[in-house]
């Protein structure tokens, strides 16, 4: 009888340990508002802490007021951001004006923080072409991508352009959700950027669900960060309900990429407190209250509010005042968006090409004749 052959590769061990480097998300303050990394916490000034809290209050108020507008039938598509404030504002705070942003449809807050206006955000939701005409100073961003994951390919191309043009201290940012990592464009984007060592920072906002599909049904990977390994992209996880940790990781990821070291992949662990979109999906049909409760207990505003209140940097009166201020700004933005001129066929034709092609020019003339009647 032949002797049992020696095991050459322990695939079971490889499978059980491959996610180990990514299982310790970076965290500065926990869900109870307790500082768990004093050294990192001490890198923030009091003014910075207050600014980060103000940005989260801004985003939550934007969400609440925008949902009110949506329920009133005054907007088109809107993807709620309730619960993801720390992830989105932490990253946005690390961006610099010269960086390029390629947002997904849940990333209007970052787009606005990067230079677009709230009015443009509302016009985009209403499907108005003026939403994409950014301010004269130049907002380096594309409008939100609807195709899941496609912005990763766009970001890789922009990052390569940054490198070839010799732009210093500049990166291209991309956002997608957990479901986006199951798309082919996700892999192609990070692989292309890695192959050319282009300055891109890819963010995966893992909120647990791709509409109604839970993360564990999308992929067998224990973490989404580890998906960067196959393309040679360094990656990490961060507590996406902790704005301090998210900001620090996003800042270091940006610095690493901008220094010419190639792309980075960051998975933020966050949660979508409400529906996938204003179109009306019902989260209670695919997740339970028991599943939701631990995440609501991790509310990013509650934890930072506790820290700032303990330091006597924050109080309810200050927050209430900011909420009213922001509501007024958002109502004014909606008023302006609703005053935008009615769209015409020729508006779309004239903005398709910088110089209309002959066939498009003929269509412009045809529809101008109809519109003038």
Please provide the average confidence, as pLDDT, over all residues in the chain. 94
For the residues 285-305, what does the mean pLDDT come to? 94
Q: Inform me whether the pLDDT recorded for 330 exceeds 90.
A: yes
Over residues 155-163, mean pLDDT? 98
Average pLDDT in the 174-200 region? 97
The pLDDT-based confidence of 136 (bands split at 50, 70, 90) is low
* Mean pLDDT, residues 284-296 taken together: 92
For 217-230, write each residue's pLDDT tens digit.
999 999 999 999 99
What pLDDT score was predicted for residue 264?
Answer: 98
Which of 215, 254, 272, 305 is flagged as catalytic?
A: 272
Per residue in 43-52, pLDDT tens? 999 999 999 9
Tokens of 25: 């998300």
Q: What is the pLDDT of residues 52-61, one digit of tens each?
A: 999 999 999 9
Say whether pLDDT at 280 is over 80.
Answer: no
Beta bridge partners, 267, equal 204, 237
Nearest in space to 246 (alpha carbons), one of 100, 131, 85: 85
Identify whether 286 is a catalytic site residue.
yes
**Among 85-89, 172-176, 283-287, where is mean pLDDT lowest?**
283-287
User: Using one digit for the tens of pLDDT, what is the confidence trace for 352-373?
Assistant: 999 999 999 999 999 999 998 7
The average pLDDT across 305-327 equals: 97
The residues spanned by each domain of the chain are 11-341, 344-372
Query: Model confidence over 238-247: pLDDT tens digits?
Result: 999 999 999 9
The predicted structure's pLDDT at residue 1: 59
Residue 69 has pLDDT above 60, yes or no: yes
Q: What is the mean pLDDT of residues 170-177?
A: 97
- pLDDT of res. 135: 65
- Strands lying side by side in the sheet with 200-206: 100-102, 172-177, 200-206, 264-269, 235-239
Rounded CA-CA distance 130/215 in Å is: 36
Sign (positive or negative) of CA dihedral 102, 90, 22, 214: negative
Indicate whether this model's pTM tops 0.75: yes
3-state secondary structure the chain: CCCCCCCCCCHHHHHHHCCHHHCCCECCECCCCCECCHHHHCCCCHHHHHHHHHHHHHHHHHHHHHHHHHHCCCCCCCCCCCCCHHHHHHHHHHCCCCCEEECECCCHHHHHHCCCCHHHHHHHHCCCHHHHCCCCCCCCECCCECCCCHHHHHHHHHHHHHHHCCCCCCCEEEEEEHHHHHCHHHHHHHHHHHHCCCCEEEEEEECCEECCEEHHHHCCCCCCHHHHHHHCCCEEEEECCCHHHHHHHHHHHHHHHHHHHCCEEEEEECCCCCCCCCCCCCHHHCCCHHHHHHHHCCCHHHHHHHHHHHCCCCCHHHHHHHHHHHHHHHHHHHHHHHCCCCCCHHHHHHCCCCCCCHHHHHHHHHHHHHHCC
Residue 133 confidence class, pLDDT cut points 50, 70, 90: confident
Q: Catalytic residue among 82, 129, 286, 367, which?
A: 286
Determine the CATH number of domain 11-341: 3.40.50.970
pLDDT exceeds 70 at position 259: yes
Average pLDDT over residues 268-297: 91
Q: Which of 106, 114, 254, 276 is catalytic?
A: 276
Give the dihedral of Cα atoms 193, 197, 200, 205; nearest 10 deg.
60
Mean pLDDT of 272-300: 91
C-alpha to C-alpha distance for 361 and 193, rounded to whole angstroms: 38
């Amino acid at each position: 009888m032949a002797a049992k052959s020696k095991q050459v590769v322990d695939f079971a061990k490889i499978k059980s340990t491959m996610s180990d480097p990514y299982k310790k998300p970076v965290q500065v303050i926990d869900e109870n508002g307790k500082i768990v990394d004093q050294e990192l916490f001490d890198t923030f000034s009091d003014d910075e802490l207050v600014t980060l809290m103000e940005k989260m209050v801004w985003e939550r108020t934007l969400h609440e007021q925008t949902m009110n507008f949506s329920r009133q039938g005054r907007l088109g598509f809107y993807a709620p951001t309730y619960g993801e404030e720390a992830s989105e504002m932490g990253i946005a705070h690390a961006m610099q004006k010269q960086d390029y942003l390629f947002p997904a449809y849940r990333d209007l807050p970052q787009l606005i923080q990067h230079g677009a206006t709230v009015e443009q955000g509302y016009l985009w939701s209403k499907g108005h072409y003026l939403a994409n005409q950014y301010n004269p100073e130049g907002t380096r961003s594309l409008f939100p991508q609807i195709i899941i994951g496609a912005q990763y390919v766009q970001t890789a191309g922009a990052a390569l352009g940054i490198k070839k043009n010799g732009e210093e201290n500049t990166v291209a940012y991309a956002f997608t959700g957990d479901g986006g990592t199951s798309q082919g464009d996700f892999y192609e984007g990070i692989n292309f950027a890695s192959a050319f060592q282009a300055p891109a920072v890819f963010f995966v906002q893992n909120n647990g669900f791709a509409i109604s599909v839970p993360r564990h049904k999308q992929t067998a990977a224990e973490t989404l960060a580890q998906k960067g390994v196959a393309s040679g992209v360094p990656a990490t996880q961060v507590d996406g309900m902790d704005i301090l940790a998210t900001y620090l990781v996003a800042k270091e990821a940006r610095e690493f990429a901008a220094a010419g070291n190639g792309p980075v992949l960051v998975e933020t662990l966050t949660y979508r407190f409400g529906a996938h979109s204003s179109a009306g999906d019902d989260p209670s049909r695919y997740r339970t209250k028991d599943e939701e409760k631990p995440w609501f207990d991790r509310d990013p505003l509650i934890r930072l509010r506790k820290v700032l209140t303990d330091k006597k940097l924050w109080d309810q009166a200050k927050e209430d005042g900011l909420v009213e201020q922001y509501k007024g700004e958002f109502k004014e933005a909606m008023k302006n968006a609703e005053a935008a001129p009615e769209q015409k066929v020729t508006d779309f034709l004239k903005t398709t090409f910088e110089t209309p092609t002959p066939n498009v020019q003929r269509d412009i003339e045809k529809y101008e004749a109809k519109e003038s009647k």
